[in-house]
C-alpha cells in the first residue's frame, strides 16, 4: 500500500516520520487535464476544455468540469455534488454552475485532494490528512455505490491501517480530527483511535518488543534495564502522548482504557498528568475576570467537570493533593454544586490517611497567602460533618494533620487571623487528645505576625485551655510575652489554684498520716514517756500551722491577681 512497503521495519520509525500512502480511482479520467494550479484563491484545472463548474470552499474557488472528455469527473463520484449539480442545472452544458460549500471537513486543502482523485491523479495522503479526507468523502457521499473503489473505501483502508499499526500515527489522526466538528465521532474515528491506544497501553512489555512503534526502549536492540525501573517506565510510557490530547479525545481514551481493565491507580495517574499540564496553561486570575458566557470560561468549566466525572472511583486511585487542585479549579469555574459536593466528600474521606504535604495547595495571586488555607478549611469542615460511627481514633489523626498543617502555614505573612482561627475551629475539641501542637502553631503565628492587636491576639488564643496542655506547655504559656495578658493571667491563676488544691490535699494527708502513726506508736508501746508524745504533738501542730500560713499567702496572691485581671478587662 502506498509509496512504501508496509513492513515491520518501516513502521518502527524513531524519527517520528508519518506513514504515507498514494491512492487513485480504479477508473482513470483522460490525462488531457494536466495539473491543478492555484492562482491566489482560485484553483484551476489546466485543460483546453473551459470550466463549467465552480465549487466555492470558503474563500477558495475551484474551477472544474461537470463534463470532461465525455465523462463526469466530479459529479459521477460524489452523490452530494451530483444531486446539487442536476438540481441547479438549467439543462445547458454551456452554463457555468456555482456550488458553495461552507462546512466541508478539512476545507480547501482537503478538497484539493478530492479534486485530484476525481480527475484521476495520484493522491498522496498521510496520517495527518487521512481522517479529514475520509470525513470529506463521507460528506460528499463518495461511496462504492457510485463507483467501485471510490474515495470512502480508499481512504478507509489507509485510515484503518494507520490507526492499528502505528502508535504515533494514531495520535496524528486524533490531532487532525480536532477541527472537524462531530463527523469523526459519528464515523467512529475517535472510538477506533481510542481503542487502539487503550489496547497498546494495556499490553504487556513483551508484546511491544516485536517492533510496534511504542517507546524506544521496547526495541529489540535496547539494553537491559533494572526491573523496578523498567516496570515504572512500562506503566507510564504512554502518559506524555495522551496528555497532548484535547479534553474530549482524552476522555474517549480514558474510557477505553478503563474498559480494557487497566489498574485504577494508573488511570488516576494518567488523569492527574493530563490535568497538571492543563492547569499549567490556565490562569485562574484571568478566568475570574471573564464573563460566565465567555467561550474560554465555558470551555474551562466543561473541562473541569469532565475530569471529575471520569475519575476512577476506587480507593487510593488518585491522591488527595491532586483532588484538592481539581476542587480549586472547580470552585474557580463555578461548576455544578453536585460535583463539588461529591469531590469535597471524597477528599474529606481521605484525610485520615493524608500527610501534611498532601494539603499544600498554592494560591495564584500576588497578594494572596502562599497556600490556599480556605480550601483546606472547607474540606475539614466537610469531614467534621460526616456521620461516622466510632471515629475517635481516626479523628485524632485528622486533628494531628490539621495542627501540623497550621504549624507549616503559620509563618506566612498574608495569612489572616480569621483564616487561621476558622481552621482551628473546623474540628470539634475531641479531635485533639492534647492541644500542645495547636499551641505551638499559634505561637508561631503570633511570632510571625507581631503587629496583631490585643483584641486579635485574645481572639486567636481563646481556644487555649489549661487542662488540655501538658505541664511543660503550661510553663511556656506563663513565660510567653507574645500571648495576650488576659490569657497569661488566667493561666497563672489556674496554676496557683492547682497548687493550692495540691497543698491542701498534702496537708490533710500529712496530718492524717501523723495522727495514725502516733496512735499506732501508742498502741505498740505505752511504756514510752509522756514527754516524747508531747514532742510529737507539738511538731505536728507546728507543721500544720506552717501549711496554713502558706495557704493564706496563696489566697492573698490569688486576690491580688484577680484585682489585676479586673483592671485589664476594664
Is residue 219 one of the residues assigned to a domain?
no
Dig out the grid coordinates for 478 from the structure. Answer: 506563663
Q: What integer pLDDT is reported at residue 527 of this predicted model?
A: 45
Confidence (pLDDT) at 24: 78
Residue 457 lies in a domain: no
Measured CA angle at 132 (ends 97, 305), to 5 deg: 125
Residues 120 and 260 in one domain: no
Q: Are residues 130 and 274 in the same domain?
A: no
**Cβ atoms of 496 and 554 closer than 8 Å:** yes
Can you tell me the distance from the alpha carbon of 108 to that of 114, in angstroms, rounded to the nearest whole number? 10
Q: Residue 399, Cβ neighbours under 10 Å: how many? A: 22
Query: Residue 42 — pLDDT band, cuts 50, 70, 90?
Result: confident
Q: What percent of the chain has pLDDT above 90?
A: 50
pTM score above 0.85 = no
1-29 as b/e: b if 16+ CB within 10 A:
eeeeeeeeeebbeeeeebbbbebebeeeb
Whole-number Å distance between alpha carbons of 207 and 211: 9
At 77, which CATH number?
A: 3.30.710.10
Q: 568 in helix, strand or coil?
A: helix
The alpha-helical segments, DSSP class H, found in 106-246 are 107-118, 130-139, 151-165, 167-177, 183-186, 189-202, 205-208, 227-236, 239-242
The total of structural domains in the chain comes to: 2
Entry field: residues in the chain: 570
- CB-based contacts of 24: which residues, under 8 Å, 6+ apart? 117, 120, 121, 122, 123
Whether residue 261 sits in one domain with residue 156: no
Q: What is the DSSP letter of 429?
A: G
Q: What is the pLDDT of residue 343?
A: 97
Residue 362 is given by DSSP the state: B
Residue predicted with more confidence, 538 or 114: 114
Q: Give the integer Cα–Cα distance in Å for 120 and 118.
A: 5
pLDDT tier at 70, thresholds 50, 70, 90: very low
Q: How far is CA 560 from CA 454, 481, 557, in A?
A: 23, 20, 5
Under the banding of pLDDT at 50, 70 and 90, the label for residue 204 is: low
Cβ distance 132 to 110 under 8 Å?
A: yes
| Dihedral over Cα of 370, 374, 378, 383: its sign | positive
pLDDT band at 28 (very low <50, low <70, confident <90, very high): low
pLDDT of residue 269: 95
* C-alpha to C-alpha distance for 325 and 487, rounded to whole angstroms: 39
Task: Provide the pLDDT for residue 289.
Answer: 75
> Mean pLDDT of all residues in the chain?
81
What's the pLDDT at 546? 67
| 251 and 173 in a common domain | no
Residues 23, 103 within the same domain = yes
- For 429, the grid coordinates are 475539641
Q: Which residue has the higher pLDDT, 489 or 139?
A: 139
Task: Give domain status of residue 434, yes or no.
Answer: no
Between these two residues, 7 and 509, which has the higher pLDDT value? 509
Alpha-carbon span 359 to 320, nearest angstrom: 7
Q: Which long-range contacts (CB under 8 A, 24 or more apart) does 93-96 make?
A: 93/52, 93/66, 93/67, 94/52, 95/52, 96/51, 96/52, 96/53, 96/54
Q: What is the pLDDT of residues 388-425, one digit of tens each?
A: 656 678 899 999 999 999 999 999 999 999 999 999 99
Cell 469542615, residue? 381
Same domain? 173 vs 246:
no
Q: Does some domain include residue 404?
A: no
pLDDT at 215: 41
- DSSP line for 123-164: EEEETTTHHHHHHHHHHTT--TTTSTT-HHHHHHHHHHHHHH
pLDDT at 2: 38
| Sign of the dihedral through C-alpha 497, 499, 504, 509 | positive
**pLDDT for 436 beyond 80:** yes
Whether residues 175 and 270 share a domain: the answer is: no
Contact 267, 298 (CB under 8 A): no
**Beta-bridge partner residues of 123:** 23
Same domain, yes or no, for 50 and 112? yes
**Looking at the domain assignment, is residue 364 inside a domain?**
no
pLDDT at 231: 53
Q: Which three cell numbers stand for residue 157?
A: 483502508
Half-sphere exposure of residue 370, counting CA atoms within 13 Å on the CB side? Answer: 8
Per residue in 280-329, pLDDT (tens digit) is 887 776 777 777 778 888 999 999 999 999 999 999 999 999 999 999 99
d(CA 115, CA 36): 8
325 located within any domain:
no
Q: Tell me the H-state helices in 430-484.
A: 436-448, 454-460, 471-479
98 belongs to a structural domain: yes
Greatest CA span in the chain, whole angstroms?
154
Are residues 27 and 173 part of one domain? yes
Instruction: Name beta bridge partners: 21.
Output: 125
List, for residues 339-390, the tens digit of each pLDDT value.
999 999 999 999 999 999 999 999 877 667 899 999 999 999 999 998 765 6
- What counts of helices (H) and strands (E) characterise the chain? 25, 7
Q: Are both 264 and 150 inside the same structural domain?
A: no
In this model, does residue 92 exceed pLDDT 70?
no
Question: How does pLDDT run across 260-273, given as a tens digit for each residue?
Answer: 999 999 999 999 99
- Is residue 113 situated within a structural domain? yes
- Nearest C-alpha neighbor of 125 from the set 93, 162, 94: 162
Q: Are 106 and 137 in contact (CB under 8 A)?
A: no
Determine the Cα–Cα distance for residues 113 and 132; give it in Å rounded to an integer. Answer: 10
Q: How many other CB atoms are there within 10 angstroms of residue 291's CB atom?
A: 9
- What pLDDT, in 10s, does the model give residues 51-62? 888 999 999 999
Region of 430 (left: φ > 0; alpha: ψ -120 to 50; beta: rest) is alpha
State the pLDDT at residue 420: 96
Q: What percent of the chain has pLDDT over 70?
A: 76
Per-residue pLDDT at 530 exceeds 60 = no
Q: Are residues 147 and 251 in the same domain?
A: no
Residues of 508-524 as b/e, b for ≥16 C-beta within 10 angstroms? eeeeeebeeeeeeeeee
Helix (H, G, I), strand (E, B) or coil at 23: strand
Rounded to an integer, what is the distance from CA 135 to the centroid of its chain?
34
Query: Do 97 and 246 lie in a common domain?
Result: no
Looking at 305, 334, 352, which one is the last position of a domain? 305
Residue predicted with more confidence, 569 or 196? 196
Q: Check residues 534 and 331 and name the one with the higher pLDDT.
A: 331
Range of the domain at 107: 10-187
Q: How many CB atoms lie within 10 A of CB 559?
A: 10
Strand pairing partners for 54? 63, 98
In this prediction, residues 187-205 reach a mean pLDDT of 89
Distance CA 548, CA 507 (A): 9
pLDDT in tens, 165-189: 899 999 999 999 999 989 999 999 9
In what order do the strands lie in the sheet containing 42-45?
Answer: 36-39, 42-45, 60-64, 53-57, 97-101
CA–CA separation, 248 vs 194, rounded Å?
11
pLDDT at 210: 37
Residue with cell 502553631: 441
Grid cell locating 430? 475531641
The whole-number average pLDDT for the span 485-494 is 83
C-alpha cell at 132: 479529514
Among residues 273, 305, 337, the one where a domain terminates is 305
Query: Above 60 in pLDDT, residue 533?
Result: no
Asked if the model's pLDDT at residue 3 lies above 80, the reply is: no
Amino acid at each position: 500500500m502506498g509509496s512504501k512497503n508496509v513492513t515491520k521495519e518501516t513502521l518502527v520509525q524513531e524519527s517520528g516520520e508519518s506513514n504515507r500512502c498514494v491512492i487513485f480511482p480504479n477508473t482513470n479520467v483522460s490525462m488531457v487535464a494536466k495539473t491543478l494550479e492555484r492562482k491566489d484563491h482560485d484553483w484551476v484545472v489546466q485543460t483546453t476544455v473551459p470550466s463549467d463548474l465552480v465549487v466555492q470552499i470558503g474563500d477558495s474557488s475551484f474551477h472544474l468540469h461537470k463534463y470532461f472528455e465525455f465523462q463526469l469527473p466530479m459529479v459521477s463520484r460524489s452523490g452530494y455534488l451530483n444531486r446539487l449539480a442536476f438540481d441547479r442545472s438549467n439543462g445547458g452544458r454551456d452554463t457555468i454552475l456555482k456550488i458553495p460549500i461552507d462546512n466541508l471537513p478539512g476545507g480547501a486543502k482537503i478538497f484539493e485532494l478530492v479534486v485530484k482523485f476525481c480527475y484521476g491523479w495520484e493522491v498522496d495522503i498521510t496520517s495527518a490528512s487521512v481522517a479529514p479526507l475520509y470525513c470529506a468523502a463521507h460528506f460528499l457521499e463518495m461511496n462504492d455505490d457510485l463507483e467501485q473503489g471510490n474515495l470512502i473505501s480508499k481512504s478507509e483502508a489507509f485510515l484503518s491501517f494507520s490507526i492499528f499499526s502505528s502508535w504515533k500515527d494514531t495520535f496524528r489522526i486524533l490531532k487532525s480530527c480536532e477541527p472537524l466538528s462531530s463527523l469523526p465521532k459519528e464515523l467512529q474515528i475517535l472510538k477506533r483511535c481510542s481503542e487502539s491506544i487503550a489496547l497498546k497501553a494495556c499490553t504487556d512489555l513483551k508484546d511491544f518488543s516485536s517492533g510496534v512503534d511504542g517507546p524506544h526502549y521496547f526495541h529489540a536492540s535496547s539494553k537491559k534495564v533494572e526491573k523496578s525501573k523498567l516496570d515504572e517506565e512500562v506503566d507510564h510510557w504512554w502518559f506524555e502522548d495522551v496528555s497532548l490530547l484535547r479534553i474530549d479525545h482524552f476522555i474517549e481514551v480514558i474510557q477505553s482504557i478503563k474498559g480494557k481493565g487497566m489498574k485504577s491507580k494508573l488511570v488516576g495517574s494518567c488523569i492527574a498528568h493530563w490535568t497538571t499540564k492543563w492547569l499549567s496553561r490556565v490562569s485562574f486570575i484571568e478566568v475570574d475576570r471573564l464573563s460566565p458566557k465567555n467561550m474560554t470560561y465555558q470551555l474551562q468549566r466543561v473541562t473541569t467537570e469532565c475530569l471529575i466525572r471520569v475519575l476512577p472511583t476506587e480507593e487510593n486511585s488518585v491522591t488527595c493533593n491532586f483532588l484538592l487542585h481539581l476542587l480549586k479549579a472547580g470552585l474557580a469555574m463555578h461548576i455544578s454544586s453536585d460535583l463539588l459536593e461529591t469531590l469535597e466528600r471524597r477528599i474529606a474521606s481521605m484525610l485520615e490517611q493524608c500527610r501534611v504535604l498532601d494539603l499544600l495547595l498554592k494560591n495564584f495571586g500576588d497578594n494572596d497567602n502562599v497556600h490556599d488555607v480556605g480550601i483546606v478549611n472547607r474540606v475539614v469542615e466537610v469531614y467534621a460533618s460526616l456521620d461516622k460511627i466510632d471515629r475517635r481514633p481516626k479523628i485524632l489523626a485528622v486533628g494531628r494533620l490539621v495542627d501540623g498543617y497550621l504549624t507549616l502555614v503559620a509563618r506566612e505573612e498574608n495569612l489572616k487571623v480569621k483564616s487561621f482561627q476558622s481552621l482551628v475551629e473546623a474540628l470539634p475539641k475531641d479531635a485533639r487528645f492534647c492541644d500542645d501542637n495547636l499551641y505551638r502553631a499559634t505561637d508561631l503565628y503570633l511570632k510571625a505576625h507581631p503587629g496583631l492587636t490585643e483584641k486579635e491576639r485574645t481572639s486567636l488564643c481563646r481556644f487555649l485551655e489549661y487542662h488540655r496542655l501538658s505541664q511543660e506547655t503550661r510553663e511556656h504559656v506563663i513565660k510567653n510575652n507574645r500571648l495576650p495578658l488576659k490569657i497569661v493571667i488566667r493561666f497563672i491563676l489556674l496554676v496557683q489554684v492547682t497548687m493550692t488544691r495540691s497543698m491542701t490535699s498534702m496537708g490533710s494527708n500529712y496530718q492524717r498520716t501523723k495522727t495514725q502513726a502516733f496512735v499506732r506508736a501508742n498502741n505498740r508501746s505505752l511504756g514510752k514517756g509522756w514527754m516524747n508524745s508531747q514532742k510529737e504533738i507539738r511538731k505536728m501542730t507546728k507543721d500544720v500551722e506552717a501549711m496554713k500560713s502558706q495557704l493564706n499567702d496563696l489566697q492573698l496572691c490569688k486576690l491580688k491577681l484577680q484585682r489585676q485581671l479586673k483592671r485589664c478587662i476594664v
